[in-house]
Structure 1
Amino acid sequence: MSLEAVKDYFKQWDKEEDIIELELSSATVELAAAALHVEPEKIAKTLAFRGIDSEYGILIVAAGDAKIDNKKFRHTFGMKARMLSPEETLEQTGHAVGGVCPFGLAHPLPVFMDISLKRFDKVYPACGSSTSAIGLSIEELYEYGKGKEWVDVCKGWEDGEEN
């Protein structure tokens, strides 16, 4: 159902046919990179965290080689980085872990894009299932993912190559 919600979501831009349906799982960065034949850092992973209010969370989209930096997260959002459980993630996004993306969300969650993505021309986020993805430019990812703003909340990617 979640893949269908994302396909419906992308119809507004005539991009639903651009979704790649894979035979292999793309549930982790490594699996997605292997299935798509791209470097792991070009996988745009979406992470779900508890939000400022207790009802809904926030989403952070980051490069595949980036890791959340707790100090930067706390400085940016004024709270500790606490990920949602798999059940909470499914309930809030409409997507199961392994297919979480900022598209076709069950609830309008704020989406923040980490600057670790800006070094690439094209990245590959999931599309609501553990066997789907789409190749998007950074500008498209921000637009289609309804990015609220660019943030710097990750570490571990700074030594990666550009493009």
Structure 2
Amino acid sequence: MAEHLAAAGVDTAVVVLPDSARTAAEAARAVGCEVGAIANSLVLTADGTPLLVMTSGAHRVDFGVLSTALGATEVAMAPAALVREVTGQAIGGVAPVGHPAPLRTFIDEDLQKHEQIWAAAGTPHSVMPLTFEQLRTLTGGALVRVA
């Protein structure tokens, strides 16, 4: 993960947690922030094509809202096998970067409300602090309304 951060010019450190941070609530408790500052990495499919949506842990994605925002007929959760295939990482630890090939990425507009956000760093036990701008730099993600 460190090489991807350095290549993007993002200066942050991966934090390894003693316990799992598979959910936004677990991650928020572990790092001492509000759940809305957790950047959940969701691999979804839009009309069958995988994409990454970084969403605030404070709410669930409304697939109808997201589908409209993306101009897609159907948006759905990607199966675990597809998540592993396109990211090289397991659900619960998917980082915004470090995938075998870049994924088209969208970022929940609500994440920009937080001075610091926390994203998974490739495993269910690792996270990294980022600013909203660092997340955009890492992913090249477009802003989207998800709820």
Normalising by structure 1, we get a TM-score of 0.83
1:40 to 22, 35, 38: 35
Following superposition, the deviation at residue 25 of structure 1 comes to: 0.8
**8 A Cα contact 1:48 1:60, kept in partner:** yes
* Percent identity of equivalent pairs: 26
> What are the equivalent positions in structure 2 for 1:1-163 lying under 5 Å apart?
6-12=1-7, 13=9, 15=11, 18-52=13-47, 54=48, 56-77=49-70, 78-147=72-141, 149-154=142-147
> 2:137 and 2:46 mapped to 1: Cα distance?
22
The amino acid that maps onto 1:135 is: P
> 1:68 and 1:115 mapped to 2: Cα distance?
12
Alignment gaps of 5+ in structure 2: none
Q: How many residues align?
A: 145
RMSD (Å) for aligned C-alpha atoms: 1.5
> 1:51 and 1:137 mapped to 2: Cα distance?
27
Following superposition, the deviation at residue 14 of structure 1 comes to: 6.2
Judging changes above 3 Å, is the alpha-carbon distance between structure 1 residues 14 and 80 closer, same or farther for their aligned structure 2 residues? closer
Alignment gaps of 5+ in structure 1: 1-5, 155-163
